């Protein structure tokens, strides 16, 4: 079913595995093409191609995946993120803060070390009062 603009309305059609396999088998007949078979069944040709690929891989089975299980052997032990060795962060460089005020007459005032707002306010106030 489609609306006035040609968009599908209503629920999607669900095909059983047997229907999918039958359509895939039709595409293998001599002289058959995927687009012709798809059009005859009202299915998009791309969807039929996907079914062909799944069938070739042995995945076109009930439940969507192959029922056969393969044995698995873990070659290396799994390391959980919490068990990983923590790489130390690079040592932070010590940042030395400083202010240098140059006065006329080749006089300088240097302040080194942590500068807080109170120290800066006091310095600015002292310099502006001169």
**Is the pLDDT assigned to residue 1 strictly greater than 80?**
no
Extents of the domains making up the chain: 17-64, 98-128
Kind and range of the H or E element at 34?
helix 34-41
State the average pLDDT for the chain: 79
> Is the overall model pTM greater than 0.85, yes or no?
no
Per-residue pLDDT reduced to its tens digit, 8-34? 777 888 899 999 999 999 999 999 999
Q: Rounded to a whole number, what is the distance in angstroms from the first to the last CA of the chain?
A: 89
The pLDDT of 114-125, averaged and rounded, is 77
Is the model more confident about 44 or about 63? 44
Is the model more confident about 5 or about 38? 38
Q: Which residues contact 43 (CB under 8 A, 6 or more apart)?
A: 15, 23
Fold held by 17-64: Arc Repressor Mutant, subunit A (1.10.10)
The pLDDT of 43-52, averaged and rounded, is 94
pLDDT reported for residue 129: 66
């Amino acid at each position: 079913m489609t609306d006035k603009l040609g968009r599908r309305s209503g629920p999607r059609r669900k095909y059983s595995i047997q229907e999918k396999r039958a359509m895939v088998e039709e595409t293998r007949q001599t002289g058959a093409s995927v687009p012709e078979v798809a059009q005859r069944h009202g299915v998009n040709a791309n969807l039929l191609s996907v079914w062909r690929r799944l069938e070739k891989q042995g995945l076109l089975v009930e439940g969507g995946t192959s029922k056969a299980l393969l044995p698995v052997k873990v070659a290396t032990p799994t390391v959980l993120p919490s068990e990983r060795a923590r790489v130390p962060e690079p040592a932070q460089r010590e940042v030395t803060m400083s202010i240098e005020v140059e006065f006329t007459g080749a006089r300088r005032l240097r302040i080194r070390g942590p500068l807080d707002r109170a120290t800066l306010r006091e310095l600015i106030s002292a310099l502006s009062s001169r």
